[in-house]
């Protein structure tokens, strides 16, 4: 396949734009997690109080 420089440049620009958007979204999510209303769910060692991926039958109560 033969791609022109212009085509590759456009693809790289789209990738760059997508990375910038994802970085902004990640920063917003991290800020939301650090918000005071979520802070009780994270202990001092940065472990979550509830593991949403854990099997509910294995949770200790």
The token pair that represents 46 in the structure block? 């940065």
Do the beta carbons of residue 40 and residue 49 sit within 8 Å?
Answer: yes
Over residues 26-60, the pLDDT tens digits come to: 999 888 877 777 777 665 666 666 667 777 666 55
pLDDT band at 1 (very low <50, low <70, confident <90, very high): low
The pLDDT, as a whole number, for residue 26 is 95
The token pair that represents 52 in the structure block? 């949403």
Contacts of 28 (CB under 8 A, 6+ apart): none
Over residues 7-25, the pLDDT tens digits come to: 999 999 999 999 999 999 9
The token pair that represents 60 in the structure block? 């200790």
Q: The pTM is what?
A: 0.53
Q: Which residue has the tokens 């109560």?
A: 61
Q: How far apart are CA 58 and CA 44, in angstroms?
A: 23
């Amino acid at each position: 396949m033969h791609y022109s420089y212009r085509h590759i440049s456009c693809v790289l620009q789209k990738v760059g734009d997508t990375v910038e958007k994802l970085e902004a979204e990640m920063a917003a999510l991290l800020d939301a997690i650090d918000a005071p209303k979520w802070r009780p769910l994270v202990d001092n060692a940065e472990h979550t109080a509830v593991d949403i991926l854990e099997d509910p039958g294995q949770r200790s109560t």
